[in-house]
Amino acid sequence: MSYEIWIMIVASLVGITCGVIGCFLILRKLAMLADAISHTVLLGIVLAFLISQSMNGLYMLIGAAVVGLFTAMLIQFLNHKGIQEDASIGVVFTFFFAIGVILITVFADSVHLDVDHALMGEIAFVPFDMVEIAFLPPLPKAFIMLMSILILNIILMMLFYKELKITSFDPALAAAIGMPVMFIHYLLMGMVSVSTVASFDSVGAILVVAMLIAPGASAYLLTNKLSHMLCLSAFFGVLAAISGYYVATWIDSSISGSMAMMSGVLFALVFIFSPTKGLLGKKINQKRFRTRTNAT
């Protein structure tokens, strides 16, 4: 397949993987935790490399999941001990991220990673990093990684759908009827961590936050049903990815940057034009209501 198509496929996979999982973050008011985890996975990746001495994706996923979960736990712990949640998030993730940055610069000679790449990603290189597995034709490494994580996420979400839903909506009731609230919380954090790592090679640690939050935030404004929100969010993720790619080639600039920008543009459009919850929609509804009440 051609170079361009692979980039668009990988970008779309980032959009779907992040978009779907991001919905739960929004509904649980954990968007800032996504920001934290997306940064601290850098430390996980560096540690995984230093310990295993290889750039194997599996080790990276494990490293990221461990550090991501540890981040979530530490934030929870500090918060529980009376530190405000946003303050705990701010302290924990900058600290871990800083350690990651220091490790990269100290071991710069041996690590095939640089801070720029970690922050911004480089999706344009994705088609050059092909691997062959078993009988399959050569596939980009990023594609295999994202596809596996997406499938894993979908399976977990299907298995734990009702648990995810009730712990997001009413954690007190969930706990009272014996749902494992903390387990589900950390399961979700683990899913966010591995999704971030899988995406990070392509879009980088900072822009992955845009892909996690913006599509879900847009979908939230358009629907009243959780399952629809998940699907719509995936759709917005793909839309941002594809349109971002074309914008990038058109103005000859960073693809990941354009993707993140387009997810913001799409959100702005939905925010204004959503029929029920958008700015215009609300205005029109008010006007209709007024004319109706005036008429009677």
Partner 1 sequence: MTNPIEIKKLTVAYDKTAVLKDIQFSVPKGSLTAIIGPNGAGKSTLIKAILGLIPKVSGDIKIYGKPYRAKDRLVGYVPQRGSVDWDFPTSALDVVLMGRYGHIGWFKRPGKEDMALAKESLKKVGMDAYANRQISQLSGGQQQRVFLARALVQDAQVYFMDEPFVGVDAATEKAIIQLLTDLKDQGKTVIVVHHDLQTVEEYFDHCILLNKEVIASGVTEEVFTLEQLHQTYGGKLAFLDKGKVMVEQTR
What residue ranges bind partner 1 (CB under 8 A)? 27, 29, 82, 159-163, 165-166, 168-170, 172-179, 220, 223-226, 228-229
Which of residues 103 and 230 has its CB atom nearest to partner 1 in the complex? 230
Q: Which residue, 95 or 235, is less far from partner 1 as judged by CB?
A: 235
Residues 274 and 221: beta-carbon distance below 8 Å: yes
Pairwise CA distance, residues 19 & 14, whole Å: 8
- Determine the Cα–Cα distance for residues 130 and 163; give it in Å rounded to an integer: 38
Q: What is the largest CA-CA distance in the chain?
A: 78
Tokens (6 digits) for 238: 């793909």
Nearer to partner 1, 7 or 221 (CB): 221
CB of 67 to partner 1, least distance (A): 29
Q: Is 180 helix (H, G, I), strand (E, B) or coil?
A: coil
Specify whether the CB–CB gap between 33 and 189 falls below 8 A.
yes
**Min separation Cβ 129 and partner 1, Å:** 37
Toward partner 1, which CB reaches closer, 134 or 177? Answer: 177
CB of 241 to partner 1, least distance (A): 23
Please, which residue, 133 or 159, has the CB nearer to partner 1? Answer: 159
Structure tokens at 194: 């591995």
**CB of 165 vs partner 1, minimal distance in Å:** 7
Structure tokens at 156: 């977990």
At closest approach, how far in Å is the CB of 170 from partner 1?
5
The distance of closest approach from Cβ of residue 20 to partner 1 in the complex, given in angstroms and rounded to an integer, is 14
Q: Is 117 exposed, middle or buried (0-12, 13-18, 19+ CB in 10 A)?
A: middle
Q: How far does CA 215 lie from the centroid of its chain?
A: 10
Residue type, 80: H
Q: Give the CA angle between residues 63, 68, 74 to the nearest 5°.
A: 125
- Looking at the Cβ atoms of 8 and 222, the one nearer to partner 1 is 222
Helix (H) / strand (E) element for 43: namely helix 31-52
Least CB distance to partner 1 at residue 42 (A): 32
29 vs 288, beta carbon nearer partner 1: 29
